[in-house]
Amino acid sequence: MAAPAGSGNGQPDAAASKGTEPLSAAQVAKLAKLARLSPDAAQLERYRHDLAAVLHYVERLGELKLDGVEPMYSPLEVDAPLRADVPEAGLPNAALMAMAPQSVPPFVKVPKVIGESQ
């Protein structure tokens, strides 16, 4: 598979990114917030450029002619050993409570992520 078109430094050049609209700084800032990152302006611009390169590469992958190519889960021709799907004893509650950063027995306390304003 060929590397993405670009200036040779792994970054797409202006002609290579014709197909997709470039990401705005606001879009990248929203992605950073969803990923719970707090980039400064320089990092945000670097992320914007890096994400554009990834999106361009994915766009190029979509151009491949794959008619007749069978889907595969691994590039290697090996059989993955599968274990039987048999119920096993779970982790004892006391052990789980000992590992949890915060708990309200018998529950593990986790940070709220659903329902936060975007």
∠ CA 4-34-23, rounded to 5°: 40
3 — pLDDT class (breaks 50, 70, 90): very low
What is the pTM for the complete model shown?
0.49
Tens of pLDDT, residue by residue over 30-75, are 999 999 999 999 999 999 999 999 999 999 999 999 999 888 877 8
> What pLDDT is attached to residue 81?
78
Tens of pLDDT, residue by residue over 96-118, are 999 999 988 889 998 888 876 65
Tens of pLDDT, residue by residue over 76-88, are 887 777 888 899 9
* Average pLDDT estimate for 2-18: 44
